[in-house]
Structure 1
Amino acid sequence: MNFDPENKVVRLCAKGMQAEAEGKIEEAGNCFKQAWEAATNNFEKFTAAHYCARNQPDPQVNLQWNLDALKYVDAIESDELKTHYPSLYLNIGKSYETLNDLPSAGKYYQLASESAVHLPDNGYGKMLKAGINEGLKRAGLKGYYNSTIDALINDWCDRKELRPLSLVLPAYLQNLGTDEDINTLITALSFLSATRCLNAEEQRKIEGVIADLVR
């Protein structure tokens, strides 16, 4: 699926995002509405619906736009658009959560988790994985959790220990339990262990967690 920056719908959505960044929420909404009205194919309708869902004061309207975005991207059936599914599922899950429908929210958070393998390994992908993990937990599902790491992070936060937090927190929050995510966490914990910046008790706990994860 070729992305055309000159496409009218794409340009209107980009204009809306610029307005939103400047705090002009009403102007942004108007741009997204114009994009929807200009959309003529499934890709354009998916793009416009995705942006129309933003900043909707009515959670039911927000949900409907997100569901519409998913409907139109499903109709395209393109492998090139698989990177969009984690965000779409996450948005739908949050919409259901806002409406206090946790079973439906959990369903879409789980779909987001399963499709996260298509996310790029960059800041955007890591941000979405962290959001998915937290959504799973709020829905009462199994996001990745380790009680020892949790307790250590709480202690480091209390003591403002920035070095271990900076090394471990990203890999922990973005962990969806896949082999790749577990290996990333092992690498972060191993690097922290090698720095020898922890007290003896914390060092022992970190080495214990590493040993458990590599089994």
Structure 2
Amino acid sequence: MGFRALGDPTAAHRHFVRAAAHIGDVPAGAYADWTRFGIADGLRTTRRNGPLAAPLERLCARGELRALGVILPPYLGDLGTEEERERLITALRMVHAARWLADDEQQALGAVISELMGVSG
């Protein structure tokens, strides 16, 4: 039974942070991808909802596949490194520049980008 199941999200988050630091020890390939996504999911679920939670939920509900296709790979594999944050910001900027979203969503996405850049800068 893991820390999450035991109701200790702080300990679970520390565990996932340690796992993320050692992802490079996993041989490349499908197993490494699966492990990365599992660790990234653990990191996301043991910290506060990030700024992308609500916008992604809306995009999923609408089936906005072009935007999701660009955003989800860096989002799902994000282990919290600066390089991965930049990859995610780049994907968000690409969607924003393509103007695939309604005006209110464009503004919300711009705000998310600004917030993430503030975290990384």
| Residue 40 of structure 2 corresponds to residue 133 of structure 1 | yes
One-letter amino acid of the counterpart of residue 142, structure 1: R
- Flag the 1:122–1:179 CA change in 2: closer, same or farther, 3 A: farther
5+ residue gaps, structure 2, are none
Query: Which protein, 1 or 2, shows the higher relative CO under an 8 Å CA cutoff with sep ≥ 6?
Result: 2
1:175 aligns with 2:78: yes
Say which one has the larger Rg. 1
Distance (whole Å) between structure 1 residues aligned to residue 78 and residue 22 of structure 2 = 14
Q: What is the one-letter code of the residue matched to 2:34?
A: M
Equivalence for 1:21: none
Q: 132, 135, 142: which one pairs with 2:47?
A: 142
CA distance in 1, matches of 2:105, 2:28: 30
| SS of equivalent residue, structure 2 residue 80 | coil
Q: TM-score, normalised by structure 2?
A: 0.74
Over aligned residue pairs, what C-alpha RMSD do you find?
2.8
Residues of 1 paired with 2:28 and 2:107: CA distance?
31
Mapped to 1, the partners of 2:90 and 2:44 lie a distance apart of: 24
User: TM (normalized to structure 1)?
Assistant: 0.45
- Does residue 114 in structure 1 map to residue 18 in structure 2? no
Report sequence identity in percent.
Answer: 32
The runs of 5 or more residues in structure 1 that have no matched partner are: 1-95
Judge conservation of contact 1:127–1:174 (CA < 8 Å) in 2.
no
The structure in which a higher percent of residues are helix is 1
**Cα gap change, 1:205 to 1:114, in 2 (>3 Å):** same
